[in-house]
Amino acid sequence: MKPQFSLHRASTSVALLLIAIMMLGLAGCDTSSPAAQGQAAQLQPTIQPQANGSKEDVPDEVVHNADFGTWNYVALKNMNGAVIYNGGKKIGPGDIYAMISYKVQTDDGVRSYMEANRKLIAQVAKQSGQAEVYIYFSPYLPVDQFRSFAQAHGLSIAQSFVRATRSDPNTPYTTFETMGFGPHQPGELIAKGVDPIPQLELEGRFSQLTHDFPGLELKGVFYTRAWVNTSELPAITANAQVYYLDVTANVVRSDLAAAGIPNANNIDVENNSLGAVYDLVEHPSKPRK
């Protein structure tokens, strides 16, 4: 009998960007460590139609897993209704998807995961075609500069997140609000050359935020999930505005293909380390290694 993996699923009423925002940071929160942030940032599915008419989900079936030292992943067969994770592809009933996790729930554990990933970039850059990447900026890239960055590197974007902050004179913490931008249809990509953050939409949403939370200052983009030609990876890594480039999803797909998993190159791969990684970016006292 194959092992089973139970995955918590959100209700159908939860919208794509709201859950994505929760994943990467709740408004007004400031965590003390990536361990705490990472546990709060466990990925949640964002769309789940009724699963085959049943009231309860069936545990998803583990089909493969692998350990890479500082991180591991598990590949699962969806035993329930269609679901879409934050910026990912639609996972239909019977489809296989994968989840990446860093292994040690501490600051040093997250740094070890990041360092291991950096060593994989050259390997992925030698492959042909497109790579899926998570790009973290240091710490915020102004929206106009992000548009230029996306165009210069030919990004096809699944999601981008813009942050507005406000210093709280009564506490040592910073209040922040997050705005997520993506394609109109979940699971698709914003094509190259298309504005990933439409100016009118940005202005309207920021205006509403400042109405609800006076004193907010628009900072810029702190994270994007995209697809890019592998030949662009060295240039992205060398860009001083990029804090961290994550390519582990591509390594997972290659490993699944080597294990004989059908259609491995098209499998959706999600990463449970996102919140913890960005916690290091936003805290200057935790310098990059």
Residue 137, pLDDT score: 94
Instruction: DSSP letter for 230, please.
Output: G
Both structure tokens of 288: 């990059």
pLDDT value of position 41: 36
Omega before residue 45 within 30° of 0, cis: no
Residue 287 in any domain: the answer is: no
For residue 271, what are the β-bridge partners? Answer: 100
Answer whether 216's CB lies under 8 Å from 210's CB: yes
Q: Residue range 85-98: average pLDDT?
A: 86
**What pLDDT band is residue 242 in, cutting at 50, 70 and 90?**
very high
* CB-based burial, 59-70: b 16+ in 10 Å, e otherwise: ebbebbbbebeb
- Which is higher by pLDDT, 52 or 141? 141
**φ/ψ (deg, to 5) at 239:** -70, 125
CA-based nearest residue to 109, from 68, 67, 71, 72: 71
Residue 274 falls inside a structural domain: yes
Domain count within the chain: 1
Instruction: Determine the pLDDT at residue 275.
Output: 78
- Structural domain includes residue 230: yes
Question: How long, in residues, is the chain?
Answer: 289
Distances (CA, A) of 192 to 111, 130, 150: 32, 13, 8
Which residues does 216 contact at the CB level (< 8 Å), separation at least 6?
164, 165, 166, 175, 177, 206, 209, 210
pLDDT of 72 over the 80 cut: yes
d(CA 102, CA 246) in angstroms, rounded, equals 12
- CA 179/CA 212 separation, integer angstroms: 14
**What is the share, in percent, of the chain residues with pLDDT greater than 90?**
54
In a domain, 288, yes or no: no
pLDDT computed for residue 21 by the predictor = 38
In a domain, 13, yes or no: yes
Flag whether 214 is in a domain.
yes
The parent domain of residue 69 ranges over: 4-282
Distance in angstroms (rounded) separating the CA atoms of residues 42 and 27: 17
Which region among 31-35, 130-134, 155-159, 272-276 has the lowest average model confidence (pLDDT)?
A: 31-35
For residue 260, the model assigns a pLDDT of 96
Residues 6+ apart with CB under 8 A from 234: 121, 122, 125
For the chain, percent of residues with pLDDT exceeding 70: 75
* HSE-up of residue 105 (Cα within 13 Å, Cβ side): 10
Q: Find the mean pLDDT for residues 49-76.
A: 79
278 class by beta-carbon count within 10 Å (0-12 exposed, 13-18 middle, 19+ buried): buried
User: Is residue 289 in a domain?
Assistant: no
Confidence at 283, pLDDT banded by 50, 70, 90: low
Q: Tell me, rounded to whole angstroms, the distance of Cα 153 from its chain centroid.
A: 19
pLDDT band with cut points at 50, 70 and 90 for residue 8: very low
Q: Do the domain assignments include residue 128?
A: yes
The whole-angstrom separation of Cα 91 and Cα 274 is: 20
